[in-house]
Structure 1
């Protein structure tokens, strides 16, 4: 009976701790909002640099109701998400298999590693002009820029996860007849999956941060483009509203990935 009580108390403890952490996070957000409201109500900061929460909410309501520059808010969000998810899909189907192969084979890694390490630290804007020159000003160059920004962190995560698979697991699978494609599909890839999903979180963050740069050239839609266009007219209320929309979308995407990580590997805290 005592053992059952210990198990129940242990199960309740994480839920109670999660509630405490959520309350702390909520209090932090409320404190920042109060500080923002107080600063906007007093002449501490020029309203051009820090509009009031009411002005930002009004700008958000106007965009939601009337759209921005001929397109609805959902159309702008959809344009940005289409570019991001297309790039992330390409990242996952290319960086993951290549990274796993490089992690399991030093010769293949020696071929690709210099190129990845060369372009990985480069700022996206450093080579965006070349992408526009090669692929034009349409969405192709934007998707490729987002793809390149997310490829390196996904590739590194795949290499790292493939290299740290215990040799006993590989040898055990081979002794049971797993070879070639079956070894990679049913042993190596599932072993790498938790690290790959963690790498995907990093890739999403880097790709999302590159969105504004991707929508700088010849774009007429997208949340990043809204920020750039509003800055031309000093519409700081629209800039703040668009940034908040981007942040909320990023939180939702990251939460979905964290949920997937918990489903795949419940023993890992995410």
Structure 2
């Protein structure tokens, strides 16, 4: 009994040291990342302070921060005018951001609904897969800028063409991930369910869907990232309000500080979206990656 109790204590201590080591490693990694960020900003500030680069091409960090604050506040149109302007292009930056999120939500949302259904059909039926796979691969290979003009001709320059563009950008990764998940299902799991008397619906809901869900969520994560990078292309025409449209318009007007501020907001939102989807996948499929 004493030896068993002693072994349990040693195991507990080893586990505690392991958890502490993991936490310490995370804090060290975070500290390294923060130090790298501070060094990059310091270098940026030094280059602009010494006027090594024309401010038109590389404004200072202070100018970018000022543009960010200005885009979310109201200010006089000029010193001699009583007219008040709010935000940029008639909208605050958070309103531009919300407009882009709405377009992403509609386009990617439709892809999340249709992508797994099409992928499931292609994974279950060989003749459906043979008929549709060439079109799916063709669509996946097309860059969004290659067909945005056609979408504008078909659906106009309003939000409908943007919804279609973002949907077409997000649909292939989700469908293909679903197909890969279907193909990766072990046959013995289905055979075991059949041997216990499970019908087709039970096999689908208790075997196929749980086995495919990690790949579907991975495809959604990839599709969302790809659609977010496509938002600037979607908002090239009549993209105001929209964070991508604001970045494009400010660039054409040589408002470099505002353009950099938009780029930073786009990048930070992309990281936040990806992190949120990563943790959502961990919550929905906690068994993924564990031994079965």
TM-score under structure 2 length normalisation: 0.87
Q: How many residues align?
A: 269
Partner Cα separation in structure 2 for residue 107 and residue 17 of structure 1: 51
Alignment CA distance shift 1:235-1:23 (3 Å): same
The residue correspondences of 1:98-137 to structure 2 (distance < 5 A) are 98-137=118-157
2:238 alignment partner, SS class: coil
Are residue 147 (structure 1) and residue 167 (structure 2) matched? Answer: yes
Partner Cα separation in structure 1 for residue 164 and residue 202 of structure 2: 32
CA positional deviation for 1:100: 2.4
Partner Cα separation in structure 2 for residue 224 and residue 178 of structure 1: 50
Q: Hey, what does 2:88 align to over in structure 1?
A: 68
Tell which structure's C-alpha radius of gyration is larger.
2
Partner Cα separation in structure 2 for residue 214 and residue 146 of structure 1: 7
Partner Cα separation in structure 2 for residue 178 and residue 87 of structure 1: 37
CA positional deviation for 1:116: 0.9
1:36 pairs with 22, 40, 44, which one? Answer: 44
**5+ residue gaps in structure 2?**
1-8, 74-85
Q: Higher RCO, 1 or 2 (CA under 8 Å, sep at least 6)? A: 1
Partner Cα separation in structure 2 for residue 51 and residue 182 of structure 1: 61
Q: Hey, what does 2:191 align to over in structure 1?
A: 171
2:141 alignment partner, SS class: coil
- Report which stretch shifted further, 134-143 or 51-60: 134-143
Q: Hey, what does 1:181 align to over in structure 2?
A: 201
Partner Cα separation in structure 2 for residue 44 and residue 106 of structure 1: 62
Q: Hey, what does 1:15 align to over in structure 2?
A: 23
**Cα RMSD over matched residues?**
1.6
**5+ residue gaps in structure 1?**
none
2:268 pairs with 229, 248, 253, which one? Answer: 248
Q: Hey, what does 2:3 align to over in structure 1?
A: none
